[in-house]
Amino acid sequence: MTDRRVVVITGGSAGAGRAAARAFAHKGAHVALLARGEERLAQAQREVEGAGVRCLAIPADVADAAAVEEAATRIEETLGPIDVWVNSAMTSVFSPVHELQADEVRRVIEVTYLGSVNGILAALRRMRTRDRGTIVQVGSALAYRAIPLQASYCASKFAIRGFVDSLRCELRHDRSGIRVTSVHMPALNTPQFGWVRSRLPFHPQPVPPIYQPEVAARAIVWAADHPRREYWVGYPTVGAIGANLFVPGLLDRYLARTNFEAQQTDQPVSPDRLDNLDKPVPGAHGAHGIFDAKAKPRSIQSQLSMHRRLAAGTVSGVALAAMAARRRREAAG
């Protein structure tokens, strides 16, 4: 089946955004990519066009509302009406709170929170006139459960979750045809851990278990096709959100004991390490980071979440078969 929708992906030059761009392209969608790094944008554009679809790559900082609005206008003039808008752009700082600088916190919030707000507003201005469209907000388990060393990122993810919840209520009040769905991710093997600003003594890493960005991409594409309120991707996401709901104090103690070490490898940080907080890091980074050997290529939980009816039917079938087998044993005995 050919999909000729127009899909916009912020943060589409690397990580989960780039993997999602490829996934949408292979379904036949035309794709627009917004990101700061022109070299990686050009590479991502070639990948998308290799699937036989059109791609528009626009260098833009999502923290700049005017730039996002201008990009949205250009996308519709070039590719056509926007059907799906995916907010995936983010940045972070790995640091204890007492060592954070105010300008660093502000920058993380501008990109990770306000960047998503800017994308949502640009999408709504166009989708409301047509009363259709889907906004996919890429979230995180950290939108529900904060962890040490990433306070500014966690705060941004908490904030956009609140913003999106308010928007859902308003769209429902208006009986709008626009759909909003959030996809909350586990730890992903993306390049961000190689370029994130860090004050840690050792190289940053995602908290294991780690998943490949294609796991995120499949969930994003599925959510765009089957928008529901939220998707939780991976058992760690489900576990973190559930534990925070029922035993937040116990989880505080657990994270305090384990997550300083869990967010670092045993490799010292290079003294000439560059970071992308204020400007892109040069280089041909793609969807994957450096943790391929540790990363899981699929998530059974995610598949079950996406196919809930099939999963429920399978569980029911197994239960009925077990009951029938038990009755046969009882009858024979």
- Give me 321's structure tokens: 């078969």
Residue 144 catalytic? no
- CB under 8 Å to 87, separation ≥6 — which residues? 10, 11, 115, 116, 119, 120, 135, 136, 137, 138, 160
- Give me 263's structure tokens: 């967010």
| Residue of 113, 144, 153, 211 marked catalytic | 153
User: Does residue 191 belong to any structural domain of this protein?
Assistant: yes
- CB under 8 Å to 207, separation ≥6 — which residues? 147, 187, 236, 259, 262, 263
For the chain, the C-alpha Rg in angstroms (whole number) is: 21
Contact between 119 and 85 under an 8 Å Cβ cutoff? The reply is yes
- Taking the C-alpha atoms of residue 158 and residue 155, their distance in angstroms, rounded to an integer, is 5
- The tens place of each residue's pLDDT in the chain, 333 residues long, gives 457 899 999 999 999 999 999 999 999 999 999 999 999 999 999 999 999 999 999 999 999 999 999 999 999 999 999 999 999 999 999 999 999 999 999 999 999 999 999 999 999 999 999 999 999 999 999 999 999 999 999 999 999 999 999 999 999 999 999 999 999 999 999 999 999 999 999 999 999 999 999 999 999 999 999 999 999 999 999 999 999 999 999 999 999 999 999 999 999 988 889 999 999 998 888 999 999 999 998 877 777 777 655 444 433 343 444 455 566 666 666
User: Does residue 37 belong to any structural domain of this protein?
Assistant: yes
| Closest among 202, 204, 206 to 269, alpha carbons compared | 202
User: What pLDDT does residue 80 have?
Assistant: 97
Q: Which helix (H) or strand (E) holds 107?
A: helix 102-108
User: Does residue 333 belong to any structural domain of this protein?
Assistant: no
User: Does residue 307 belong to any structural domain of this protein?
Assistant: no
Contact between 12 and 58 under an 8 Å Cβ cutoff? The reply is no
| Closest among 185, 103, 109, 211 to 150, alpha carbons compared | 109
The domain that holds 150 is classified in CATH as 3.40.50.720
pTM for this one? Answer: 0.90
- Domain holding 153, by residue range, is 6-298
Tally of CA atoms within 13 A in the half-sphere of 186 that contains its CB: 25
Q: What is the dihedral of CA 262, 35, 40, 51, to 10 degrees?
A: 100
- Taking the C-alpha atoms of residue 86 and residue 31, their distance in angstroms, rounded to an integer, is 11
User: Does residue 217 belong to any structural domain of this protein?
Assistant: yes
User: What pLDDT does residue 317 have?
Assistant: 41
Written as one string, the DSSP assignment of 283-311 is: S---S--S-TTT-BS--HHHHHHHTHHHH
User: Does residue 322 belong to any structural domain of this protein?
Assistant: no
- Give me 206's structure tokens: 């995602």
Q: Which residue has the tokens 């009986």?
A: 175
Identity of the amino acid at 62: V
User: What pLDDT does residue 170 have?
Assistant: 98
- Taking the C-alpha atoms of residue 104 and residue 21, their distance in angstroms, rounded to an integer, is 29
Q: Which residue has the tokens 């640009």?
A: 122
Return the number of other C-beta atoms located less than 10 Å from residue 257's C-beta: 10
User: Does residue 329 belong to any structural domain of this protein?
Assistant: no
Domains: count for the chain: 1
User: Does residue 97 belong to any structural domain of this protein?
Assistant: yes
